Every structure is written in C-alpha cells, then in structure tokens.
Chain A
Amino acid sequence: MAENIRTVEHATCTFCGCVCDDMNLTVDLDKHCITKAENACVLGKAWFAEHTIENRPAATIDGREVGVDEAVEEAARILVNARFPIIYGLSDTTCEAQREALAIGDLIHGTIDTTTSVCHGPSGIAFQGVGESTMTLGEVKNRADLVIFWGGNPGEAHPRLFSRYAVTTKGMYIPNGKKDRYIVSVDVRRTQSTPVANLFIQVKPGADFELLWALRALVRGRRLDPSVEERTGVKLDTMKQLVERMKTCRYGVLFFGMGLTMTRGRHFNSGALLALATDLNEFTHFVAKPVRGHGNVTGADNVVSWTTGYPFGVNLSRGYPRFNPGEFTTVDTLSRGDADAALIIASDPAANFPKAAIEHLHRIPVIALDPKATETGKLARVAFCTATYGINVGGTVYRMDDVPITLRPAFESPYPSDQEVLTAIKNRVRELLNKKAKPKEARKAA
C-alpha cells in the first residue's frame, strides 16, 4: 500500500499553556497517526504520538455502546431533570466548545467551573484584588533582561518556555539570548529548571509569602528584622541583591507556578507576587505572568469571564451569574454533595479530585466528554468519545498570555468534536425545556 502521508506546517501543540504554534507534523493518514512532530518538546512529541484513533464506541450509556443521538438524548434528559447540575473541565477543548458549554449552563441554570479552580484559581482571585502588570510572551523574548521563575518547574512542565519565549531565545533588544538575560529561580528545592538560573534562591517550604513581602519592603526601602532570614531561609544580602537587580533591570519578568498557588497562602502568595511586580514599576518596567498548565485553560478563563463576568466557580441557579470560589467550585460542590448531575468536558476529576468529591461523582449521573478513556468516563452514565482538539478538530485556543491561536488539525477523526456534542445537547436541552415550560403556560391560561 502506498503511504498516504500528509504534512501540516505551523500546527499548534495544545499540550501545555505554551501553545507553541510552530509544529511541523508528518501525518500518516492510513494509520491515523502523527509520525513526526518537528519542533515539539518532549511533552509535545508524546502528545502528538499518542493520539491515534482508538477503537472505542463514540458513545456509551452505563458502559453500553449506543448511538451518539441516543446518548445526547440521555445527557439532555439528565441535565434538564437535575436541580443542581454542574459543568466542569473545559481547559482542554476549544473556545468554540466552551461557548456551547456556557450556553448549556445558562439554559439549565447550572454551575460552571473549570480546572482553573484547582490550579491558578488563587491567581485569578489575587488578580481581582490587586490587578496585574503583564505581557505577551513575545515581549519577554524581545525585551526581558531579568527573568525570575518562582514556584514552578518549567524545565519539565513547560520545556519550551525557556527556548522559545523566555531564556535562550533571542529578541529585538536581547540579541544574544541567554547571555543578555539574568535568570533567577526561586523554589523550595532544586529541580530540572534550576540549572538554567544564574541565581537559585531556595526558600523554606511555606515561606513564599514572607519572602515576597520582605522583597516588597526592601523595594520600598524599608528596614527588615533579621529574623526574616530564619523565617524564609534566605539571606538578607541575597534579598537585597535581588531587589537591586529588579530595580535596575530594563524589563523584568516574574513567572510563577503552582508552587505559589497550591501551597499555604494560596491567593495571598499570588497577590504578593503581583503586587511586587506592580511596585517595581515605580523604578523600571516590570511584569508578571502565571505559567498556565492546560492548553486552553486561558481560553476557558476568557470565555467564562466574557460570558459571566467571573473567571470560574460561577453559579447560574438564580438565572444570572454569581461567583463564589469555595462554594461554586467543583471540588466543593462535589465534596459537599450539592451537585446532582455533572457534565464533565475534557477533564478527569475522578482521577485527581479529593476522595469525598470522587465518591459523590459515583452517586450522581455523570456525562463525560473526552478523547481518551478516563476514570471519569468509566463511572459516567453517559460517555462520549470525542475528537482531540488541535489534532483532529480545529478551533481557537488561548495561550497562557491571552494570545488566541487558530488550530490546524492534522487528520480526521471518526468521533464528533466536543463542540458538536455540546451543540447537540444544548439544542435538545432547549427543546425539552420548552416542552416542560408549555404545560405551565397552559395552566396559567386556564
């Protein structure tokens, strides 16, 4: 058989928040797989290599194979009958699909939350409190002569953040790449990211807030009690030197990860870091950026925000959006046992949520959409196997810096896209709600 090979240039990798759009893919159309992903990092290579067309049913109800239409019918029925339906996930699908999920939420007066609530949610909360001086990644590439990584390990989690955007890459005012930059890493331990740094600062676990606050004080010229060294594990001289560098650089950047958001202090940590970047603008140009994980978690934040005014943890049960993280965030709605149905899109909470939340998922009807077999899919009443975004379906994703990029799918999938399934569910939900509403009107008339 002649090889049926296709190449896709400028394709986008949606594995992590870097959303690199310079992939050159070699696609074997007969075998339905990507045989080569030029420019991809180790994570991207695996992402592209592992997405083949698996022999799974497009839809199941209680594990039994059914047609997509039947599954859509059951999903719509579940959602319409639920009193506290939740919609969760959304960070590994297109904005087009996310918008459909929001429309469903509006119809069923559901609760909408994304994986943001378990990663950079606290940064979103901090953002609401203090704002953010930030930038697109091209500015880092072109201008940043001081780059600080705090509480993250991009070397393993976002490999091309270093090579494509922030460290070794050359830019307009950084003609020699890394030689023109000073790199600082702040973390509780050495990681694979540490060797890239000119300066590694090891902070005591749980003392990030104290260190950030101490730096803010030094930026403002305040004297510090020497006990801060014991508290943070960092020498005062080291802090002073870092502050001097921060104040005198031309374009400084603070990248921060979940080492800040998911440890003691949470949004206080993110807020302290954002405030530090803001303070430094009195002296020079300084920006900050949370390093986001999932390929389109930033898109999810954007879509949920423009639709509801709030980034995640949004409840629509009164017919309008309300925001209350801790109440309407999914770990909480599940752990407390509030939710009585769940629509999970492109996420696997049954694999990584707290035990109480997973137990509740077992008790309620779950509708799951995912390209892969997942723990959530296994316990779901209705499970859809959907086409993979960026590989089989096009659409829009937002990079961690809010830059939207259009996907170039590599090969076709026999499975429907998340958007298609969600649109079908939305339409059926609307029909069912109209039917439900009519008897009431008739009663009114009588």
Chain B
Amino acid sequence: MPDTLRIVNGRVYDPANGIDGEVRDICISDGRIVASLPQDAPRLDVNGMAILPGGVDIHCHIAGAKVNLARKLQPEDHRRDPHPSTAVTRSGTGGIVPSTFATGYRYAALGYTTAMEAAVPPLAARHVLEELHDTPVIDKGFYVLLANNVFLHRLLREGRREEFRNAVAWWINAAKAYAVKLVNPGADELWKGQRNTNISSIDQTGTGIDLTPRQIIRSFIDVVEELGLPHPVHIHCNNLGHSGNWQTTLETMRTAGESRLHMAHIQFHSYGGEPGKNPTSKGPEIAEYINTHPNITTDVGQVMFGKATAMTADAPLGYMLRNISHNKWINADVECESGCGIVPFTYQEKVYVHALQWAIGLELFLLSKDPWRIMLSTDHPNGGSFLKYPRLIRLLMDRDFRNEEIQKVNPRAIKKTVLLDNLDRQYTLNEIAIITRAAPARALGLKHKGHLGAGADADITIYEENADKERMFNAPRYVIKDGRMIIADYEFRTDHEGRLLHVAPAYDAAIEQKLHPFFDDYYSIEFANYPVADSYLHHHEIVPPVKAAV
C-alpha cells in the first residue's frame, strides 16, 4: 500500500464540509486527507460508488469487565457465529457479544472506524484498555462511570466544589478515559445497601447519600464544562425502561439549562404511562424538546428485533429485566464506584412493549429536525447488535420498507405511536452520513474525524451504491483506516492497530492527599496501584480540551 492515494470518480458525502454527493477526488497522504496530490500519485477508481467518512459509534459496549462477563455468559450464542482467522486477521467468535478481535473486524467490515465504549468503572480501566488493545482496526475510547462514586458524593455533599472538580479530573486521568458517563445517578447505594431498591425521581431524597440525582447531574455538567472536555456529560438517566420515565428525561434535560448534555439511548427514556404498567410513547414530546434545545445531543438506542443483551451499570434495571425474562442474570458490584447488570434478552415483533420500543426509536429519528443532534445507535448490544445498523439505515431511508415492517409488528403498539400518521420522512444519504459519522464526531469533539476535509484522519468507507440500503451498508467495498487499505473488494488485506483516544484534563495534584486516606479505608487495592500507567495505552492520542460550545 503506497503512502499516497487519490480516490477518483466517487460520489462524496461529506456533510461537515457541505458536500452532498458531488463527484470529487479524495487525496490521502501519510494517514491524513490532503487537499491535493501530484497527478502521478496512485489512483483508485470508485466510479458508481459512494465515499463517506468512516463511521463513528458514539455509544456502544464492546470491551471491559461487564462486556467480558456477558461474553463468558453466552457460549450458546458464540457457537452459532464463528469468526475464522484469515491470512491477515485473528479468529474469534461473534454473536451478540463478539470477542474483541471479531468486534474490531466487524466494525471495520461495516465501514466504522471509531467506536466508543460507553461505561467503564475506573477500577476496571486496565481491563478495558487491554481489551481495546486487542480490538483491531478501529480507533476507540471509553467513558468513565462517575455518577455513583462514593468519594465524589462525599465532596458534593460537603460542598467542596473545587476539590470535586480536581477529583473528577484526577479520575479521568487515572482511568485514561475519553468522557464522563453518568448512569442512574445516585442509585447505587439503594441497590447495594438498601435491599435492591432504586431511584424513582430525579429529585428523590432518602437515597442514602444525602444527594438528589439532580444535584449530582448538575454538578457534573458544570465541572465537565469547566474542564473543557471535548465531549459533554454523557448521561444514562434515572428510571431507564420504566413507564412514565419521560418526565425524568425532560427534567434531566432541563437540569442542563443551556449547557451541553448528551442523552444516551434516549429511546429507552421516552415512555409514558404509569410505573408498573404498560408504557405508551412519548417520542414526539421528547423529540420536540430536543428540537427546541440546541444544547442537547442524543443517540437513539434503537431496539432491533432479535437477540440482544442488556448490559448496564444500572444494576436495578438489570434485575428488573431479569424478572421479566427469567433468563440467566449477572450482577457485579464494583466497590465505591458502580454496579452492573447483565441479562440476555430477545426483542420480539409481536410483544407489545418490544414493538413499542422499536417504534419509539423510529419516531425519534423521524421527528427530530436536526440530524446533527440525533445519532444512530442501538446501544449495542442492549437494543441489538451493531451489525443491525444497515437494517436500521434502511428503515430510515426507505419508507416502503419501513411501512412493510410496521405491518409485521404488534398493531396495538403501533397505534400508540405516530408512525402511521403520515410520518413519511425518508433520510437522505447525506443525513445518514450525518447521523453515523459527522454528528457523532462533532459531538465527541473529534475534529479529525467524521469528515473528509484536508487534515482529517484518512478513515474512509466506500460503498457500492445500491437501492437496497441494507445491502449497501452491510458491506463496504473499500475501508481505509489511517490511510491504509484495510478492506478492498470486500476482503481484509491487512490487519491494523487503531488508536486509543483519551483526554487528560489538568488538576491540582493536592487532591491526591484527600483521596489517599479514602482509598486506605474503603478500597481493596492500594492507592498507588490504582491509576493506570501509560504502558496500557498502546497507540494513543490525547484529545485536547476545548472551550465549551455554549
């Protein structure tokens, strides 16, 4: 593979640079996209094909302690889906929770070149870094779980804001994380310490920690803004999956005021109805709030029918799902930091709740006016595998196909939605390029990703155009990562090690004097052994802080 390449005759979809299907040359040199190359540079003719930036998954669960537990849990699922080695790639197994090598290759084979693991307790940071090292081709990073951190709660409770900020920054550095993740803020103490109970309101008192979820959320939003992290607070709200949770979702967004906030897998948070009873759709109401509040970004967390695995730091949710599915269940408490629940799950067309969840996701996609703030995700593997993205893209781009599919699912659920009320929007290819590439890159603050302008990482996907968008997006003809031809003519040509993306916000080292005694008292590992050493980073990139966008 030469260091330079000129890709010619393809239609370019590069929404970040305002290019919508024009035939243009894309020039690559030294792993980056450049404005021009000498005329005699090697060429690749992609006549009749679409050139898009490599996909960016803003929210998935692909590596680390909980993922590996879910992997170990399901041999029956791997057995059906072997992933053989080739002359250039490693073997593995697939299924709903693929092995690390299979995960990297399968993302690449889908045209994705970046994926973010969305929930890691800092105590398991080394584990996630080891697995990400063994996840080939793609660039990757992870979000560190801080919303149920006992030490941080203590600082908040005592009003020690300055120390809180320093401790948050310390933890991000200690874990080598990319962003801050909040999951069911404030609920862990109820789960672990008060007989498996849970939060039911964002303003709940009596949480055992003398803080309401709202106080926790607001504090993190402020601090992440102050630290200038490239990605805002990434939140999995309280009450996920519960009927009537849309009020909690609205209140969570209101808590942000005008500050940036990323609402994860918002489909799971858009339910009307009464707790304990069947949900209804509040997709339109949630979409309306997002449409009118430019500070909010979100990924949908679309449910796709078939096999899934609930895998979450929201342990009470895991238990609730276990009591629905009666399937094998994992709970894993992480001292002072987090919980975890895992349940294999299957979404079925004919089940009212599942069909409603599927339909709400589509409502959110179709009613949202700004594709730059609503991103494609299935919360892999919670709503379904990332391998279902092509089908989801077809549902969005192809109205007739969507209407056929709607006919197959529980009609009672569809009646509770606006899907059949002249919701005839079809996503354009340009819009797909936004929700799968440009928007997540922008929301993550990854300036060199999600576009094809000069200076961008040469992460490029080239698809044969096809009226069947599922087929088109299922198998790119070429995938280029860091300027290297990874897939050509649908086959892997070489292996590649992607980069680990992380941030390193500054903090006052004096905070360590406060942390140390807490570790001595309540952790089971030594304070000195807690922060992750640089040796775990393999090939990495520190993404610098930015000024807050708002």
Interface residues of A (CB under 8 A from B): 9-10, 12, 21-22, 95, 99, 103, 106, 124, 127-139, 141-143, 164-165, 171-173, 250-251, 278, 281, 283-285, 287, 301-303, 305-311, 316, 318-323, 396, 398, 402-406, 408, 437
Contacts and interface: CB of A to CB of B under 8 A. Distances in A.
Contacts of A285: 191-193, 195-196
B381 to A, nearest CB: 13
A426 B193 CA distance: 48
Interface stretch (B13-21, B332-340, B362-370): B332-340
Contacts of A132: 69, 330-332
Contact of B126 (A281, A406, A408): A406
Given A250-B195, A320-B92, 8 more contacts: A135-B333, A278-B329, A283-B195, A302-B68, A305-B68, A306-B99, A307-B101, A404-B130
Contacts of A322: 79, 82
Closest 8 CB pairs of A and B: A138-B335, A309-B93, A138-B524, A320-B82, A131-B328, A309-B78, A135-B333, A404-B126
Contacts of A21: 525-526, 529
Given A323-B75, A405-B529, A302 B134 contact: no
B443 interface: no
A284 B273 CA distance: 29
A398 B127 contact: yes
B85 interface: yes
Contacts of A437: 87
A306 B191 CA distance: 28
B528 interface: yes
A349 to B, nearest CB: 24
B529 A12 contact: yes
Contacts of B99: 305-309, 321
Contacts of B71: 305-306, 309
B95 interface: yes
B522 interface: yes
A144 to B, nearest CB: 11
Contacts of A316: 85, 91
B62 to A, nearest CB: 10
Contacts of B150: 172
Given A132-B330, A281-B319, A306-B131, A127 B192 contact: no
Given A305-B68, A311-B72, A22 B523 contact: no
Nearest to A402: B65
Contact of B82 (A10, A129, A130, A321): A321
Chain A CB count within 10 A is highest, among B87, B127, B525, for B525
Nearest to B127: A404
A179 to B, nearest CB: 17
Contacts of B353: none
Contacts of A318: 82, 84
A174 B84 CA distance: 50
A281 B331 CA distance: 10
A283 B90 CA distance: 45
Contacts of B328: 128-131
B524 A403 contact: yes
B100 interface: yes
Contacts, number: 191
A302 B85 contact: no
A318 B84 CA distance: 8
Interface in B332-368: 332-336, 342
Contacts of A171: 521-522
Contacts of A305: 68, 71-72, 99
Given A22-B526, A99-B134, A143-B192, A287 B333 contact: yes
Given A309-B98, A396-B126, A402-B124, A142 B329 contact: no
Interface of B: 63, 65, 67-69, 71-75, 78-79, 82-85, 87, 90-93, 95, 97-101, 123-124, 126-127, 130-131, 134, 150, 191-193, 195-196, 319, 328-336, 342, 521-526, 528-529, 532-533, 535
Chain B CB count within 10 A is highest, among A141, A250, A406, A408, for A406
Given A10-B529, A285-B191, A406-B126, A137 B332 contact: no
Nearest to B67: A306
A321 B72 contact: no
Q: Is the interface of A mostly helix, strand, loop or mixed?
A: mixed
Nearest to B330: A131
14 contacts: A137-B524, A138-B522, A281-B196, A284-B196, A305-B99, A306-B71, A310-B72, A321-B82, A322-B79, A323-B78, A402-B124, A404-B126, A406-B126, A437-B87
B82 A136 contact: no
B528 A396 contact: no
A263 B78 CA distance: 29
Contacts of A321: 78, 82, 91-93, 99
Nearest to A169: B524
Contact of A323 (B69, B79, B84, B521): B79
Contact of A405 (B191, B192, B330, B525): B525
B217 to A, nearest CB: 24
B193 A136 contact: no
Given A138-B524, A283-B195, A306 B84 contact: no
B334 to A, nearest CB: 5
Contacts of B521: 171-172
A251 B192 contact: yes
A283 B195 CA distance: 7
B127 A302 contact: yes
A320 B522 CA distance: 43
Contacts of B193: 143, 173, 250-251, 285
A303 B130 CA distance: 9
A131 B73 CA distance: 7
A437 B93 CA distance: 25
Given A139-B192, A251-B192, A320-B93, A403 B124 contact: yes
A320 B91 contact: yes
A139 B69 CA distance: 18
Contacts of A138: 335-336, 522-525
B68 A306 contact: yes
Contacts of B525: 21, 138, 403, 405
A139 B73 CA distance: 22
A437 B86 CA distance: 13
Nearest to A18: B524
Contact of A142 (B83, B335, B535): B335
Nearest to B76: A128
Contacts of A311: 72
A127 B68 CA distance: 13
A152 B47 CA distance: 68
Contact of A307 (B92, B526, B532): B92
A134 B85 contact: no
Contact of A308 (B92, B97, B127): B92
A319 B524 contact: no
A300 to B, nearest CB: 12
Given A131-B329, A306-B99, A402-B127, A124 B72 contact: yes
A285 B87 CA distance: 49
Contact of A309 (B75, B123, B126, B332): B75
B191 A404 contact: no
A396 B82 contact: no
Contacts of B533: 406
B85 A106 contact: yes
Nearest to A287: B333
A135 B121 CA distance: 13
Contact of B526 (A10, A136, A172, A251): A10
A141 B526 CA distance: 14
B525 to A, nearest CB: 5
A12 B529 CA distance: 9
